[in-house]
Structure formats: C-alpha cells, structure tokens
C-alpha cells in the first residue's frame, strides 16, 4: 500500500487476513473492556486481555425455573466443552474469597444478600485464568433483573442465553423425586433417572426445599422475576422445552451454544459450488449472485471470454479447447486468480462454479489467493443426471433449447427439426459423470467444512437451503475442546 497516493488502494489480502484472525472481534472486545473497566493503565490492561481473552470461548447463561434440569444440563455442558460451571452453591466454596465469606455471614444472620454483592462475587470468579481462557457457564444466574443489570454494568456479557421451560405441574412432579449424590454432586430422579449402582443409591439424599409448597413458592418467585430478565436479554435468548428426555434437551442446548453469535464484522460471501454435471450449479450461482449482488465466476465462461479477447493467454487456451484437450491447471488458476483478486470481488463477494474439479486443483487455490468461506456440494445421483442432460435438443432455426421430458417441442414440425449436440449424447455424459464421481471423494476431503445439499429437488428449495447457510453464521467446530 503506497501512502503517497490517493485514493489509497487497500490490497484484498489485508481483508482476508483480518477475517481469518478475527481482528474485528478482537478490537471490539478490547475497546469494550477499556470503556467498561476504565483501567488506570490501559496498556497493561490490553496486554492482559490479549494474553488471556479468547473471542471464541463460550460464555453461557443457563436459566430456567426450579426442576427444569439446569444443574444436569450445566454439568454435561461443562464436561463436554471443558469449561467451569458456576452456580450460587459453588461460588460460596471459595474459602479464600472475602466476598464469599461476606455472603455466608449474611446467610448465617438470615439477611437478604444484596444483588451487587452476588455480582461482585461472580466477577471475581470470572476473572480467574480458567474462565478467561476457556469460558464459563453460569447455572441459574442471573435470576433477577437487578442481578442482570449489575452484571451488565460490570461487563459480564454472555454470548448465549439459554432458558429452559416446562409446565409448572411437570416441574413440581420432577422436584418431588429429585435425589442428590453428595459425593459427586450428580442429580438423579426416582422415576426418570434412577442409578443402577447400588452403592450410589445408598448415597442419595433428598435435597432441602423440594416439597410441593416450597416448589410452588419458588416457581412464583421465578415467574415474577422472568419479565425483568427477558428485558435484559430478550433478543439473544433461546427458549428450549425441558419437558422431554434430558438427552434431547442437552442436544438442543449444545447445538445452540456451538453456533457463534452474529458478528458485526463486515462479511463478503465467497461461495464455492461443487457438484457433478447437471446438478444445477450454474442456476444456483445465477440466483444467489442476482439476489445479493455477488460476482458470478464461471470457469467455462471465463475460457470463452479469454479466447474472444484475443490475448496471448486466450490464444493459448484456444489451442487446448480446439484440440479437445483439458486446459492445464496452471493456466486455469492463473486466469481465475487474476479475476478473483480484483477489488470488486473482494468488496461484493463472489460465487465460483466449474472449478475445482479434483483434489489437485483444490490444493492450488490457497496459493492463488482464493479462499472460499462457504463451500457447497450439490449431490445428485448418476441416474438423475443422465435424465437431466441426455434429452437436450436444439432448434437450429430459432436457437431454442428443448428437453424431451421437461420441455418438449410444442409442434411436430419443430420436433422433427431438433438436433442433439454431441456433448449431450448419453455416452459422453456417462464418461463425464463417471470421472466426477471417481475424483469427488478427494475433492470433498479437501474442504472439511463443506455443506452437502440434495440437488434432486425443486431449484427454489435448493436455493433457500444455500441462502440460509450464506446469511447465517456457521458452527465453528475447531474452537471447542471436544
């Protein structure tokens, strides 16, 4: 970048680097921390934030009424994601904490504990290294609007807020059968989850406060506080029905927290469409490019444009296409790199189809600066492909294309003069399809995060599937310690 020239030209590689390393999210977190905490030494504060902070670390509020299964789900999440589980009970087990001792003194004197004190205790726990590096899950917290506001003022903001819900009568029945293993802290139930190990059964005890009257009182208090909590986190809350098997509830919660929240960072779609001939790549590329203003990059069309331009590269490509030989990969990647590294592709985004066709071509893309952030494979069986492609015919007079099954000629006169392109002969199509399926396995393995969509359905349905994956964030599997 030449600082002496105006307007400044920012190379696309800078944007790719910023997107790859999440610079926008890092700067957002650092600036937010400075404004919230207002440290006396901002530089030391930023160094500590950069050392410990993790933009992808899970920060979860798991809320819900009594007996909704918060403890069980939180423990399973803690084990699965390897993150600390924080609740009111384990906050008070920190013997070194002066704040925990103060809360215990309030409890011993049976005094109301200020919500600000709870918030400070939570903040103290979340500042430890395990929470800063790995993330955390707050079980049943915050449970009042005052605590929610206090946490927000302190800069304790979740990435996901999950609220379990179930009918009150179900919750009362659950609570009556609850039993706790005091050794491990595991929660069991006399009806739904009774342990098979006799040793564990002997250790189980009924916790305090599970009678029907006490449960009703806690439910009333929860329903009274819920509107205030919704006002604090309404837009980011995920409601999940807890009146179903615990494994199903956990699966839904885990799927939700694995989905990163929507980022405010600038996003330019870079879409790669792969699939066998006749799978509908060209049609889907045209639809997505038209709706979102992306650059539609078709490898075959680029060959024709290069040949028509009369350049040396075009003449070289023409020599291969006229002889029927495939264009070498080095020439193809050079042509694509020149087009896709223009500024319009970086600003508006692009959708590429017709390349790569095999694993070797896919390996050339990073060196050419071609980094797709959405990869789709349209899956269609060989029989359907033959049905789609081998019945094409052309009217030599009008230039209209017909299909024996989907778009037959209207009159017999037109039908009699239709011609079949040699490329549409069944033998030619079979050889292309067989080659694709022979190379497809290696190509699919080149893109670990590829999305597979059934192409044997209505084109608009396929487009809606593609669109949903383009506009929504994708799960970032590598950030979780699974």
Per residue in 136-154, pLDDT (tens digit) is 999 999 999 999 999 988 8
CA dist 292 and 334 (Å) reads 26
- Same domain flag for 198 and 277: no
Answer yes or no: is pLDDT of 8 > 60.
Answer: no
- DSSP-derived letter for residue 479 is G
Task: Report if residue 432 sits inside a domain.
Answer: yes
- Number of residues that make up the chain: 482
Task: Report if residue 412 sits inside a domain.
Answer: no
- Same domain flag for 139 and 195: yes
- Same domain flag for 246 and 106: yes
- Same domain flag for 182 and 275: no
User: What pLDDT does 195 receive?
Assistant: 81
- Same domain flag for 275 and 188: no
Three-class SS of residue 153?
helix
Answer yes or no: is pLDDT of 43 > 70.
Answer: yes
Answer yes or no: is pLDDT of 9 > 70.
Answer: no
Place of tokens 């309030």: 106
Q: Cβ(127)–Cβ(155) under 8 Å?
A: no
Q: Label residue 296 exposed, middle or buried (CB < 10 Å: 0-12, 13-18, 19+).
A: middle
- Same domain flag for 219 and 361: no
- Of the three residues 190, 222, 257, the one that is the final residue of a domain is 257
CA distances from 171 to 69, 129, 220, 433, 467 (A): 9, 36, 12, 57, 40
Confidence band, pLDDT 50/70/90 cuts, at residue 215: confident
* Domain ranges, residue 223: 57-257
Per residue in 105-129, pLDDT (tens digit) is 888 888 888 889 999 999 989 888 8
Answer yes or no: is pLDDT of 481 > 50.
Answer: no
Answer yes or no: is pLDDT of 423 > 90.
Answer: no
- Same domain flag for 105 and 226: yes
Per residue in 162-214, pLDDT (tens digit) is 999 999 998 888 888 878 887 877 777 777 778 888 888 888 887 777 788 88
pTM of the model: 0.69
- Same domain flag for 125 and 245: yes
Range in 21-35, 74-88, 155-169 with the lowest mean pLDDT: 21-35
Three-class SS of residue 356?
coil
Those residues with Cβ within 8 angstroms of residue 442's Cβ, 6 or more apart along the chain or in another chain: 358, 359
Q: What is the CATH number of the domain that holds 149?
A: 3.40.50.300
Task: Report if residue 382 sits inside a domain.
Answer: yes
- Same domain flag for 175 and 238: yes
Q: Angle CA(216)–CA(218)–CA(224) in degrees, nearest 5?
A: 105
Mean model confidence pLDDT for the chain: 85
- Same domain flag for 186 and 291: no
CA dist 256 and 241 (Å) reads 13
> What is the per-residue burial (b if ≥16 Cβ within 10 Å, else e) of 335-365?
bbeebbbeeebbeebbbbbbbbbbeebbebb
Of 55, 57, 15, 469, which is closest to residue 263 (Cα–Cα)? Answer: 55
Task: Report if residue 64 sits inside a domain.
Answer: yes
Per residue in 58-80, pLDDT (tens digit) is 999 999 998 898 988 999 999 99
User: What pLDDT does 465 receive?
Assistant: 93
Task: Report if residue 335 sits inside a domain.
Answer: no
Mean of the pLDDT values across residues 240-264? 88
Of 157, 140, 149, 4, which is closest to residue 75 (Cα–Cα)? Answer: 140
Task: Report if residue 52 sits inside a domain.
Answer: no
Answer yes or no: is pLDDT of 482 > 50.
Answer: no
- Of the three residues 228, 257, 286, the one that is the final residue of a domain is 257
CA dist 101 and 95 (Å) reads 7
Confidence band, pLDDT 50/70/90 cuts, at residue 479: very low
CA dist 85 and 71 (Å) reads 9
- Same domain flag for 214 and 350: no
Task: Report if residue 88 sits inside a domain.
Answer: yes
Number of domains in the chain: 2
Of 128, 75, 125, 63, which is closest to residue 100 (Cα–Cα)? Answer: 125
- Of the three residues 232, 257, 282, the one that is the final residue of a domain is 257
Say what percent of the chain tops pLDDT 70: 95
- Same domain flag for 221 and 197: yes
Task: Report if residue 167 sits inside a domain.
Answer: yes
């Amino acid at each position: 970048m030449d600082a002496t020239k105006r307007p400044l030209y920012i190379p696309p590689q800078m944007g790719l680097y910023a997107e790859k390393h999440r610079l926008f999210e890092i700067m957002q977190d650092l600036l937010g921390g400075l404004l919230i905490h207002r440290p006396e030494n901002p530089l030391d504060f930023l160094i500590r934030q950069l050392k410990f902070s993790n933009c992808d670390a899970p920060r979860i509020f798991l809320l819900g009424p009594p007996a909704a299964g918060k403890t069980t789900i939180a423990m399973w999440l803690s084990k699965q994601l390897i993150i600390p589980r924080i609740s009111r009970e384990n906050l008070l087990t920190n013997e070194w904490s002066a704040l925990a001792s103060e809360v215990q003194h309030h409890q011993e004197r049976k005094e109301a504990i200020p919500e600000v004190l709870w918030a400070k205790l939570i903040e103290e726990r979340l500042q430890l290294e395990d929470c800063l590096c790995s993330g955390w899950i707050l079980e049943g917290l915050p449970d009042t609007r005052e605590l929610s506001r206090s946490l927000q003022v302190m800069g304790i903001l979740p990435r996901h807020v999950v609220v379990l819900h179930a009918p009150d009568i179900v919750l009362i029945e659950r609570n009556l059968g609850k039993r706790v293993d005091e050794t491990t802290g595991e929660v069991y139930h006399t009806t739904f989850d009774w342990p098979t190990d006799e040793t564990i059964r002997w250790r189980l005890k009924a916790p305090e406060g599970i009678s029907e009257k006490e449960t009703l009182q806690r439910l009333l208090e929860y329903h009274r506080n819920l509107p205030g909590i919704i006002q604090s986190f309404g837009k980011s809350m995920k409601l999940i029905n807890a009146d179903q098997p615990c494994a199903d509830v956990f699966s839904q919660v885990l799927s939700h927290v694995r989905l990163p929240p929507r980022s405010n960072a600038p996003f330019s779609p870079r879409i790669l469409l792969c699939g066998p001939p006749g799978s509908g790549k060209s049609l889907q590329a045209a639809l997505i490019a038209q709706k979102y203003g992306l650059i539609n990059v078709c490898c075959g069309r680029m060959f024709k444009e290069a040949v028509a331009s009369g350049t040396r590269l075009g003449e070289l490509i023409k020599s291969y296409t006229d002889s029927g030989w495939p264009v070498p990969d080095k020439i193809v990647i050079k042509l694509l790199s020149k087009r896709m590294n223009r500024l319009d592709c970086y600003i508006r985004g692009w959708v590429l189809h017709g390349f790569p066709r095999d694993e070797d071509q896919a390996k050339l893309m990073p060196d050419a600066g071609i980094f797709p952030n959405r990869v789709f494979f349209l899956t269609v069986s060989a029989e359907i492909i033959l049905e789609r492609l081998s019945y094409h015919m052309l009217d030599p007079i009008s230039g209209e294309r017909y299909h024996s099954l989907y778009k037959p000629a209207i009159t017999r006169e037109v039908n009699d003069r239709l011609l079949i392109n040699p490329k549409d002969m069944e033998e030619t199509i079979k050889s292309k399809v067989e080659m694709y399926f022979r190379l497809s396995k290696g190509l699919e393995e080149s893109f670990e995060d590829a999305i597979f969509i059934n192409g044997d359905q209505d084109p608009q349905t396929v487009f809606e599937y593609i669109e949903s994956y383009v506009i929504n964030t994708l799960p970032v599997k590598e950030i979780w310690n699974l």
